[in-house]
């Protein structure tokens, strides 16, 4: 499990630096077995309609716990969903919320 976590972390960091424009995410997270939390995440790109790598932190107010997670997701216009592994609490999570996105430039056909 530690090897998988290390590889995922390296991929997340390298994809964030390789991408010209990473994005940020703020939303609600459901930890399967941990309850509902509020999350802030970094996403590997801000391009709409694309897959992303993600990593971030979550605060679970009902249990007064913090989580840190890495995973992947999908961007839509001004939003994202992610599926991640919270390695502080040892549980899978699902998140949805706002993400700053950019649409591709329109193509002018003459």
Q: Which residues contact 104 (CB under 8 A, 6 or more apart)?
A: 47, 48
pLDDT, position 109:
72
In this structure, how many other beta carbons lie within 10 angstroms of the beta carbon of residue 37?
A: 24
Q: How confident is the model at residue 19 (pLDDT cuts 50, 70, 90)?
A: very low
Every domain of the chain and the residues it spans = 2-99
Quote the strand ranges of the chain, DSSP E: 23-31, 35-43, 50-60, 65-76, 79-86, 91-99
Enter the CATH code of domain 2-99: 2.40.128
Q: What is the pTM of this model?
A: 0.73
Q: Which residues contact 88 (CB under 8 A, 6 or more apart)?
A: 65, 66, 67, 68, 69
pLDDT in tens, 39-81: 999 999 999 999 999 999 999 999 999 999 999 999 999 999 9
């Amino acid at each position: 499990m530690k090897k998988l976590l290390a590889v995922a972390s390296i991929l997340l960091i390298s994809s964030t630096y390789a991408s010209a424009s990473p994005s940020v995410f703020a939303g609600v997270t459901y930890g399967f077995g941990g309850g509902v939390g509020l999350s802030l995440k970094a996403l590997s790109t801000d391009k709409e309609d694309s897959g992303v790598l993600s990593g971030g932190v979550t605060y679970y107010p009902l249990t007064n716990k913090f989580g840190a997670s890495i995973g992947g997701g999908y961007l839509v216009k001004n939003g994202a969903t992610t599926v991640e592994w919270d390695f502080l609490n040892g549980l899978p999570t699902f998140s949805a919320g706002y993400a700053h996105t950019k649409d591709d430039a329109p193509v002018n056909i003459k």
